[in-house]
Amino acid sequence: MNKTAVNPKVIYNRIYRKRATDAGFCCTCLKNPARPGFGTCESCAVKKQADYHQARVDRKAANLCLKCGLNCPVPNRSLCVDCATLKAALARDRATSKMKAGLCRRCGTNKARTGSTHCERCTLKITSTKYFGDISQYKLLGRLFVEQNGVCPYTGIKLGLGVDASIDHIIPRSAGGSNDADNVEWVHIWINFMKLSTPKSVFNGKLDDFLIAAVKHRFGVDLSSHATDLSAVSPALSSVSST
Ligand SMILES: [Zn+2]
Ligand SMILES: [Zn+2]
Ligand SMILES: [Zn+2]
């Protein structure tokens, strides 16, 4: 047998396709001009999007992996084992290469903050999603951080965004407190851990009591008799207590 025979029609099609896309035509229909910065025209893009969604709906109805449509998905997940593993590996690779370049692992464009893997903007967006359900409040959180000079009001510790800064509700959500700007503030993550759903009015001025209770709960050590020397327990604690 000689070398793999190539169908001249395939070659012709390929060359024709390349010429058309080089000339700025849609890579799918080869008729309409492609949208600026994209490979496809408007109508092909709409059709592709609709097909994609329909395929997902069909696969979901047939209980198949949403990505490959071949295997059964992992229970309570939308992807099969192979697709999920591949997706995780790709995400890890992307994150690693961004981090090696000192870039934020979320957006990949801004520089990551010192001691964090995210840029300031993405850290605020992640925090907003965590507490408010979406990124809508990230600018507000940024303004709040600046207004507080980045300092925890309870401990006076300089907070690091994405490191030890967390959002606390002054009147807890469980007690009917709102999600508005005047009911949230940045506090050290350990304050949130100790305060839980205690209202600010109750927690204020009782930091030591809460700290001792938290240490007892977390480390099983009773510090009530020598509350001044917390450094032996944990470096994180000593940074909280050294007001
Ligand atoms: Zn097209
Ligand atoms: Zn799959
Ligand atoms: Zn970012």
**pLDDT, tens only, 136-171:** 899 999 999 999 999 988 888 889 888 889 998 888
Q: Tell me the residue ranges of DSSP E strands in the chain.
A: 165-169, 184-188
Q: What is the pLDDT of residue 34?
A: 93
Asked if residues 21 and 8 have their Cβ atoms less than 8 Å apart, the reply is: no
Q: Which ligand is nearest to the CA of 161?
A: 3
How many Å lie between the centroid of ligand 1 and the Cα of residue 15? 18
How many Å lie between the centroid of ligand 3 and the Cα of residue 201? 36
Task: Enumerate long-range contacts of 174-183, CB under 8 Å, 24 or more apart.
Answer: 175/199, 179/131, 179/132, 179/137, 181/140, 181/144
Q: Which ligand is nearest to the CA of 27?
A: 1
* 222 residue type, one letter: D
Q: Which ligand is nearest to the CA of 28?
A: 1
**β-bridge mates for residue 166, sequence order:** 187
Q: Which ligand is nearest to the CA of 70?
A: 2
How many Å lie between the centroid of ligand 2 and the Cα of residue 82? 6
Q: What is the pLDDT of residue 233?
A: 46
How many Å lie between the centroid of ligand 1 and the Cα of residue 37? 14
Asked if residues 51 and 58 have their Cβ atoms less than 8 Å apart, the reply is: no
How many Å lie between the centroid of ligand 3 and the Cα of residue 191? 26
Asked if residues 192 and 166 have their Cβ atoms less than 8 Å apart, the reply is: yes
Structure tokens at 49: 């999007």
* Dihedral sign computed on CA atoms, order 6, 8, 14, 15: positive
Q: What is the pLDDT of residue 123?
A: 92
- Residue whose tokens read 């327990």: 233
Q: What is the pLDDT of residue 85?
A: 94
**pLDDT, tens only, 207-239:** 777 777 777 777 777 777 655 554 444 444 544
Asked if residues 123 and 136 have their Cβ atoms less than 8 Å apart, the reply is: no
The stretches in the chain having pLDDT less than 70 are 1-6, 225-243
Integer Cα distance of 28 and 51 in angstroms: 14
How many Å lie between the centroid of ligand 2 and the Cα of residue 40? 26
How many Å lie between the centroid of ligand 1 and the Cα of residue 22? 14
How many Å lie between the centroid of ligand 3 and the Cα of residue 71? 35
Q: Which ligand is nearest to the CA of 38?
A: 1
Q: Tell me the pTM.
A: 0.55
Q: Is 156 exposed, middle or buried (0-12, 13-18, 19+ CB in 10 A)?
A: exposed
Protein residues with C-beta less than 5 angstroms from the ion ligand 1: 26, 28-29, 32, 41, 44
Structure tokens at 141: 């959180």
**β-bridge mates for residue 67, sequence order:** none
Q: Which ligand is nearest to the CA of 86?
A: 2
How many Å lie between the centroid of ligand 1 and the Cα of residue 49? 13
Asked if residues 66 and 79 have their Cβ atoms less than 8 Å apart, the reply is: yes
